Structure formats: structure tokens, C-alpha cells
Structure 1
């Protein structure tokens, strides 16, 4: 038996979860841009974490928390299911596909062979959409963020496919993975869009206000602007890492910041700037456009940092660490000022309503 959802249109995009959501929203006739989805879900964040394989930065809010916040603000139902047994997840996924419901799933990236990832580069928060299956070939039809008109860079070279055929065995490994960070653990989402309400000024100001608050007043030193400061302080300590781990840290964090890693550019700062520019039309205040453009300029500076981290990944040269630390400190200062300016603007808009 073979079943493919005929009206589902695979599409490429900037970031895995926003692109996956955009495809699902489009399918249910509730179109929103990736940037708008990202901003409404208060996706912008910063985290510095030390993992066994490599220290790592992360530029957006946690998987599932983001999706739940998005659902609340758009008045829809996004339910996260996490069966303990993969066979249950497999059976329910096929049933949803038979009913012509695309299934947004989370997968551990190294197990998705078409991505060409290092086997130890585990990340179970990678979101893709399943839109069909073939029993005879034992494969799922998978839409990732690459597409024929949207090539993306992977460690083994660019990929640009309309969709991918992933074997049942490969998918079982990717979906049931318990590796950190963000273990996949069989998670998948279902949607009820019948109560959808398009974003309005109240929705947008609430979302922007939350982003400013979480970035400027984070609950821990590893988060928000504090996390950027921590990154600046910790990167000089990478000097104690052996060269192999130092190179791994460079490459890992290059992909965490660069658009090649699915951030949309500048560790999601470009996407957030695009959100503010789009939101300005609804908020009818050109200052949001100005701040959005400044976020895009900030993203360009983060991308310059990513380029230096790529160099670190290739050379393992510890002499790069001090200049990197200084660059990160400046980025943190500039980002704080930009967020404070945005926070004042939001408060001003709320006062006048």
C-alpha cells in the first residue's frame, strides 16, 4: 500500500521547525511566513551549554515550548504526542497520513542519512514533515527544509531535494533516539486549526514583550544576554581543550550561528529582524521597521563571528580564542541596547492603546 497526501506541497525554508510549521499552516489554509511564526512564538533566545562532545550555543527557545506558545497566540490546538513505544508512534503516524493529515515529527539528525551528519552530532529537535508512505518500499516521504529551489549546506555538501525517502528502519532510529540535547523520544505534533485567528497588534506586542523580557532578564547566567556574556568568558577557556575537541567546538558553533545550520542567518537574529519588519505593518509604527533592520545588521556581525568559528574548526588554532571573546562581548553589548530600545517601543505602544 502506498499513500501520499496529494494537496501537500513540500517547500524549502530557513529553519527546520518554522519551515515545517509553515508547510502545515499552508496545507490547512492559514498561511504565515517563517519569520512571523518565529516572532509570534517568541522564538528568539540565547543559551550557552557545555555538552560532552562540545560546548555549544543555541539561539532560539526550546522545542515544544515554542510551538505551545505559538498555538496559544493563534488560538489553535497544537498537541505534542510522545508514545513510550515507537511502534505506537509508527502506527498512529500512518493512520494520520491515511486521513490526509501531514505529521510534523522530531528526529535525531545523524540518523537521517541524507543530512550527512557526524554520527556523534546528536540533535533530536530537528523538525520535518511526513506526508506519505510506501509499504512495499518501506519508506516515508519526508519534507525537510531543503528543496530544488532552496539548497542547504550539510557537512558532506549541499542538498536540494523536493522530498526525501527515508526507510522505516532509519526513521525508527531517528524518532526513538534518546540522545541529548533535546531527545526526539518519538514526539510528533497534531493540529486543529479550526479556531485560528490571524495575528493582530495585541498578539504581536505580547510576543515581542516576552522576547525582550526573557533576553534582558533571564533566570540564569547561561541564558539571554547573560548567556552571551558567558559565551564571551567561556570561549577563552576552550584553550584547555585538546585540538580535536577544539575543532569540533568551532564547527559545531559555526552551524549553530550560520544560516547553513538552519538559523536563517546570524543565530536567528536575521529572522527576528524580518519578523519585526513584517509586524510593523500590523502595528502601524515605522520604528519597528527601523529596529528590524538593525537586527538584520546585527545578524551580519554574528555571521562574521561564525566565519571565525569555521576557521577555528579547520585550524584548531587557540590564538583565535581571545579575539573571538572580544567580538562576542561587543555583540552582547549591541544586542542589549537593541533589545532595550525595542522594549521601550513596545511599552510606548501599549501606553498609547
Structure 2
């Protein structure tokens, strides 16, 4: 059996989740949105820091939350849902049937196992779209963020990626659209997304913390999100200079800011695009000050990356540690101000 969805437009993207959702939304609804707008409408921005002893270095740092794709559907009023399936055979049968029905389907997996990707470290919850399969060749065909053309992956590699035997698993999570409806206007969706983002960054909404805790399975891991996540990252950074060798720690941070498919600036580039768009959609909620602070945050995160690169090369240089710590402090102050100003308007209107 061979099946292939031929009419899927796959625009390359800076980030896997927002890129995949942008393309899926266009396919199912015809709605054309910038990738940064998609990211922002999904209330994607966050600062997630958690310790993870099995990893090297023993922590992870994410600039987006866990539920952006589902939250995007909620803010826009779309008929899209996601589910996990621990049974690998059933998980494949479910998405196979979707392809046979001509429905491009969102998948989630660990990028390490995808044999067409050169990026070979554990990176859980990578998003990509299943377009087809060939059972005789034992291949699947995937729309991913790097190239417009479909990627070819072995079925075994896909199976391992979707529910890996080690590290963090999303347990064959997959998402599907059941209609092409978009029930909320863009200004209304913008307001809903801003409210979600503000309440999460301020720690009023615990959903991302709960999701990360569930993924970690409890067990004493340190987990912090939002502005508190930024502070936790800053505190750990201050302690790294005491390590015998902090090279892998600072190199990871550099990669997390840009190279791990964030769209640049630890996802702040995308959020800045969204904030400029949001100011047009909701001038009652977004001022020129908050728009400028969002762009400033993106610049500060991007400027931190070369400092991390220098620290990886010269981890014993005290002046570089001081520079990095000052930069992270500036990032926190900027984002504290950003979400303080935004909170003043968004929380008042509810």
C-alpha cells in the first residue's frame, strides 16, 4: 500500500510548531497568517527552565510553552485536537487512516531519531506533518520546517521518534483538523492570546507548569516557567562559573536561543512580529511601548548568543561571565516591564 497527499503547501519556517500550524491552517481553512502571528496567537511565548539529570547538560531551557498548537486552535475557534496513544501499533494505524482519508496530520517526536535530520541530540516534541507512506519500501513522507519538499524517513525511525525508548516521550501524540471553520475574528483571537500569554508569564495560569511536571513524571525535578523561569535560569547561570567545565552548559544556551529552531531570539523574534500585528488588531491592548519592549527583548536574547559562544571557547574568562549575567539580568528587566505594561491593559479588560 502506498498513499501520498499531493496538494499540501509546505512553506519552510523558523520554528517547527508554528510553521506546521501555519501550513495546516492554510490547508484546512485557507487562512493566510505570518508564522510569527501564528506563534503569538497560540500564546506560544514562555521561559521554561527545568533540571533533567539524564541530559547533558542536566537541564533544559525552552522559549515556548507545551500547548501552543492546541491553544492556537482555541484562540481562533478552530476544530483541531490532539491526543496521545501509548500503543505504538495503534498510534501508527490512526495516522495511517488519516493519510488514506487525504488528511495531513500533525505528529510529535524526538528529532534525534528522524533519519533525514542531521541534528543529532535528543530534542523532544518536535513537530512535523505526515503526508504519506509506502509500506513496501517501509518509508513515510514528512513535511518538516527546513525544506518545502517532503522528507523521506524510515518507518522504524518514525516509530522510535514518536515514542522513544529513552529521554522524554510525547507518547505518539498527533493532531487533526475535523473542519475548516474559524469561528473567532482575528481581533478577538488576538485578545484571547494576549490574555493567555500574560497570565502565564506572570504565573497566574499554571497550565504550562502542570504540563511540564506531568511530562517529567514528578520526582523532584526543578521546574519553573514564565518570568519565574527566567529568574531560575539566571540563578543557575550565576552558579555555572563555579563548575570545573561549564562548556556544555553555555553551548546549550547558545543553541537554545537560535539553533534549535526558535525562529531566532529564543522565540522572541516571532513574538515581536506578533506584537506589531497585535497593535494593529488591538490598539486598546497593545501600545507602542509594549511593541517596542517586545522587539527589545528579541534583540537582547539574540545578543546573548555570541556571548555564550565566547564563553564556550573561553569558559575561564571572568569578564565574559559578568557580561553574560548582566545580559540575562537586562533580559529579565525588559520582559518584566513588557508583561507589566501588557498586563495593565489585558488583565483590566479580562
Flag whether TM exceeds 0.5 (same fold).
Answer: yes
* Residue 176 of structure 2 is aligned to residue 190 of structure 1: yes
Look up the match of 1:175: 162
Runs of 5+ consecutive residues of structure 2 not aligned to the other structure: 210-222
Q: Quote the offset at 1:79 in angstroms.
A: 2.2
Match of 1:145, SS state, is: coil
Q: Quote the offset at 1:123 in angstroms.
A: 2.2
Q: TM-score, normalised by structure 2?
A: 0.86
Aligned counterparts of 1:247 and 1:60: Cα–Cα separation in 2: 24
Look up the match of 2:76: 74
Match of 2:263, SS state, is: coil
The answer as to whether partners of 1:123 and 1:180 remain within 8 angstroms in 2 is no
Runs of 5+ consecutive residues of structure 1 not aligned to the other structure: 149-161
Look up the match of 1:303: 302
| CA displacement 1:151-201 (0-9 Å, x = unmatched) | xxxxxxxxxxx22100111111111215444x2311111112343224333
Aligned counterparts of 1:196 and 1:333: Cα–Cα separation in 2: 37
Look up the match of 2:125: 125
Look up the match of 1:206: 192
CA RMSD of aligned residues (A): 2.3
Q: Quote the offset at 1:276 in angstroms.
A: 1.6
* Residue 40 of structure 2 is aligned to residue 39 of structure 1: yes
Look up the match of 1:267: 266
Show the 5 A alignment for 1:111-260: 111-118=113-120, 121-147=121-147, 162-177=149-164, 179-181=166-168, 183-217=169-203, 222-243=224-245, 246-258=246-258, 260=259
* Greater CA drift, 293-302 or 268-277: 293-302
Cα gap change, 1:212 to 1:250, in 2 (>3 Å): same
The answer as to whether partners of 2:257 and 2:305 remain within 8 angstroms in 1 is yes
* Greater CA drift, 74-83 or 264-273: 74-83
Q: Quote the offset at 1:289 in angstroms.
A: 5.3
| CA displacement 1:106-144 (0-9 Å, x = unmatched) | 1101111332234xx322210001111122322111111
Cα gap change, 1:289 to 1:96, in 2 (>3 Å): farther
Look up the match of 1:152: none
Match of 2:116, SS state, is: helix
Look up the match of 2:92: 90
Q: TM-score, normalised by structure 1?
A: 0.85
Aligned counterparts of 2:194 and 2:49: Cα–Cα separation in 1: 22
Cα gap change, 1:329 to 1:115, in 2 (>3 Å): same
The alignment covers a number of residue pairs equal to 329
Match of 1:146, SS state, is: coil
Cα gap change, 1:5 to 1:229, in 2 (>3 Å): same
